[in-house]
Amino acid sequence: MRTDRSVGHGGHLWRSRWAALGAAVAVTFGAGGLFAVNAASPESSVVTIEPVRVLDTRDPVNVGLAGPFVSAVAQDLKVTGSVQTTTGTKTVVPAGATGVFLNVTPVGSTAAGFISVRPANAAGLPSTSNVNFTVGAINPNAVLVELPVGGADDGKIEITFDAFGAAGPTSDVLVDVVGYTTDTRLKSLEARVAALEAARPLTVTAQDLLENVTAVDEVVLSVTVTPPVAGQVTVFSTTALGDTVAGEETRCTITTGAVLETGFLQRWESGGLNSGQHAQLSGVRTFTASAGAPVTYNLVCDHVGPGSTNLESTIMSAIFTASAP
């Protein structure tokens, strides 16, 4: 069994550098731009954890992958979901994570070289190095790798040891996970935007130029609203009345039915020819609204007396507003 006491010491020094960054600030790259958040926030895009070793290719440990790595031969390592660790099989990085923070350490290399860590779905050969070292050196280094989400390479990273092109040299590799990134914050923002879009006020308006009402209840005008979410619908109505017979009355109601509701009457009494034959009658009423349920709101009017009333330029407007979250 091969051991190296200095690996633990180097890992501790490296971890302190990550801790100084991760405990205070998390950085996210993506469509939402670049921003910093508190790592302790439940919506944080970066989650810091106690280091967990998910790769140790040394005999007889052989956690994650069997080793050692052979120069220029890449291997893929799954880091999301249930994975092997030096303390048993467990989930260290949740499925769907978009990136992972690692401590990568070469151990027992037989030649100088470098280690490259990149997404498993990266095309071509590695063009950059994450850890450079001389023969036998132990150089832990911090690495942030984007993770593929979905497909055959979901949650996998590609690790390559390269002895600067030489064939045959080997090196064991240790990988500790110290954190990961998610798009939780972005998804939360997307959900909030979608909710705001669904809950934005909605207005429906209808107009009727001329209607003559008699003693029979009549639906003068209607508007139909389909609320996207639960809320309230406030309906406004206004109409210009004309009746030349003094003492005759016009009554209107905003309702979801087809008859007058006596508890919600709008009323006007004519003053007679040349002394009050015209007036403006307006009203407002608010209704509770259920999500996705279309409701038709009617302006129902009648005339009290032997004659009739002309209703001109009648307008109804229904405004939907969402309930407070």
Higher pLDDT, 90 or 36: 90
Closest CA to 52 of 82, 23, 76, 28: 82
Amino acid letter at 38? N
Q: In which residue are the tokens 């249930």 written? A: 82
Q: Mean pLDDT over residues 240-249, rounded?
A: 93
Q: Mean pLDDT over residues 276-294, rounded?
A: 93
Whole-number Cα distances in Å, 5 to 115, 173, 215: 21, 15, 100
For the cut 70, the answer to whether the pLDDT of residue 35 exceeds it is no
Per-residue model confidence (pLDDT) at position 11: 35
Closest CA to 283 of 311, 254, 319, 312: 254
How many CB atoms within 10 Å of residue 169? 20
Per-residue model confidence (pLDDT) at position 191: 78
Structure confidence at residue 300 as a pLDDT band (50, 70, 90): very high
Per-residue model confidence (pLDDT) at position 186: 67
For the cut 60, the answer to whether the pLDDT of residue 2 exceeds it is no
Q: Mean pLDDT over residues 82-111, rounded?
A: 96
> pLDDT, tens digit, for every residue of 150-197?
999 999 999 999 999 999 999 999 999 999 998 877 677 777 787 777
Structure confidence at residue 242 as a pLDDT band (50, 70, 90): very high
Residues 212, 218, 222, 225, Cα dihedral to 10°: 170
Per-residue model confidence (pLDDT) at position 18: 43
Amino acid letter at 140? P
CA distance 40 to 59: 37
SS3 21: helix
Are 242 and 281 a contacting pair, CB within 8 Å?
no
236 Cβ contact list (under 8 Å, min separation 6): 282, 283, 284, 315, 316, 317, 318, 319
> pLDDT, tens digit, for every residue of 193-216?
877 777 788 899 999 999 999 999
Per mean pLDDT, which range of 3-7, 133-137, 215-219 is the poorest?
3-7
Are 244 and 303 a contacting pair, CB within 8 Å?
no
How many CB atoms within 10 Å of residue 160? 21
Per-residue model confidence (pLDDT) at position 16: 38
Q: In which residue are the tokens 């407007």 written? A: 317
Any idea what DSSP says for residue 220?
E
Structural domains for the chain: 5-191 (no CATH), 200-322 (2.60.120.760)
> pLDDT, tens digit, for every residue of 63-89?
999 989 999 999 999 999 999 999 999
Any idea what DSSP says for residue 80?
B
196 φ, ψ (degrees, to nearest 5):
-65, -40
9 Cβ contact list (under 8 Å, min separation 6): none
The CA angle 300-306-311, to the nearest 5 degrees, is 40
Q: Mean pLDDT over residues 107-114, rounded?
A: 96
Per mean pLDDT, which range of 3-12, 14-23, 203-212, 291-300 is the poorest?
3-12
Q: Rounded to 5, what percent of the chain is helix, strand, coil?
A: 10, 50, 40
Amino acid letter at 74? A
Per mean pLDDT, which range of 37-46, 155-164, 172-181, 313-322 is the poorest?
37-46
How many CB atoms within 10 Å of residue 125? 10
